[in-house]
Amino acid sequence: LKTRSDDDRDPSSQDAHLQVDFVQQVVEAVRREDAAEAADLVDGLALPDLADLFEVLPPSDRRQLAALAGDNLDPAVLPELDGQVFTDVVRQVPATLVAEAVRQLDSDDAIAVIEELDEDVQNQVLRRLAAADRVVIEEGLAYPEESAGRIMQRDLVAVPQFWTVGQTIDYLRAENPSLPDDFYEIIVTDPFHRPVGAIALSRVMRNERRVKIGDIMTRDPHLIDVMADQEDVAYQFNKYHLISAAVIDQSRRLVGVITVDDIVHVVEQEAQEDILALAGVSEGGVNESIVTMTRSRFTWLLVNLGTAVLASAVIGRFEATIQQLVALAVLMPIVASMGGNAGTQTMTVAVRALATKELSAANALRIVNKELLVGLINGALLAGVIGGVAWAWFGDPLLAGVLAAAMVINLAVAGLSGILVPMTLSRLGIDPAVSSTVFVTTITDVIGFLAFLGLAALVLL
């Protein structure tokens, strides 16, 4: 009898994430170069768990495990690996294995593997493929990165509308190697291979054999342009609750199909890109090499160093003022920091609203006014708080008043720039997630110091 706690301890049991002990056992086997023991341990892991194992291993052990596995590595694990982990593993396995992976995989997964390879390995693998397979891959690679053409599946089920349910079932039952492993909808095409309808498998099954497909299909199905950005594709799947959608080329001919399971990955990837971009990280993941990690953050830090120096230059204009009243130096970071926080809040909401199309030309003006108002209200509330604190601290109501006034000004500026910067960047065709933060924080820093020190110079001295 298998108890629940046995299940918990079994590293291959579903849902259980890899246990520390289990990873440790693998590391020890790998370091002893005990291929049999390592194979024994990883045997029975589901592919996504094997991929997770490669991810958590230190790079040297990861490469060693891949090398020990060699030809015995299940090639289907390759599309589950990302970035540095993929590179580490793929460099240890023979090109024949990679070619075998590409042959076995559905076309979308095969392209996902091939596009990650270095060019010389890519060529070696492509040379090992049969001509027909190679053409499919090369056509896929011809589409732009992150386009519908890259993520679509080329094997699909399309039938003419005059077929009956019975004919369709018989067609599916005939052994047909070009049919995909799993599919959820059948696409209905006209004689020019242009989609005219779609029908969920469950509807096909629920109708009698004699019923015509054309009579039960959904007309005007959602069609995806093969050149569409994957982010737009994900938006349509989410909005229209699609399970699969036909992909068409310029002449509206059916060239592939995208299914929702790939879209889950795209949605997560796009949100991840936005989160990291907003924080100024160009390439994410804790598994990247030290060099990649350092580089992915350095550029952003260097740009910010520039804006920090700019803010310092603003402060430098008021050296004489600060010399006379050093309390200004003590209080000045408050205004800039609060402006930065409020600006980041508005900007983050705006970037996401642009991504989900909640914010568009149709409501832009109204939303800008709202953000300005919210900035003014929060500015006034916080000005009251900080004014009281500063008065109590330095016993100078005029200084407290200047601080409060600067707070209101900077929070209004933060609200406005937080929404106008991403909207403007988006209008200019620049990804607002990537570049908004630097503009917004520069504005709130400069205006924060300028408003506080400028008012102080005018009023206090």
**CB of 391 vs a copy of itself, minimal distance in Å:** 13
Give me the sheet containing 244-248, strands edge to edge.
Answer: 223-225, 244-248, 254-259
- Residue closer to a copy of itself (CB basis): 96 or 363: 363
Q: Is 116 helix (H, G, I), strand (E, B) or coil?
A: coil
Q: Is 147 helix (H, G, I), strand (E, B) or coil?
A: strand
Angle at 386 between CA 384 and CA 387, to 5 degrees: 60
**CB of 94 vs a copy of itself, minimal distance in Å:** 26
**CB of 154 vs a copy of itself, minimal distance in Å:** 16
Q: Look at the block and give the residue holding tokens 């386009």.
A: 147
- Residue closer to a copy of itself (CB basis): 189 or 259: 259
Q: Is 285 helix (H, G, I), strand (E, B) or coil?
A: coil
In single-letter form, the type of residue at position 399 comes to L
- Residue closer to a copy of itself (CB basis): 30 or 350: 350
Burial letters for 113-130: b for 16+ Cβ neighbours within 10 Å, e otherwise?
A: bbebbeeebbebbbebbe
Q: State the Cα–Cα distance between residues 444 and 451, nearest whole angstrom.
A: 10
Nearest to 201 by CA among 242, 161, 165, 153: 165
Nearest to 446 by CA among 352, 309, 295, 265: 309
**CB of 156 vs a copy of itself, minimal distance in Å:** 11
**CB of 134 vs a copy of itself, minimal distance in Å:** 26
Q: State the Cα–Cα distance between residues 244 and 261, nearest whole angstrom.
A: 9
**CB of 95 vs a copy of itself, minimal distance in Å:** 26
Query: How many beta carbons lie within 10 A of that of residue 36, not counting itself?
Result: 9
**CB of 131 vs a copy of itself, minimal distance in Å:** 28
Q: Is 249 helix (H, G, I), strand (E, B) or coil?
A: coil
Q: State the Cα–Cα distance between residues 118 and 87, nearest whole angstrom.
A: 9
- Residue closer to a copy of itself (CB basis): 125 or 280: 280
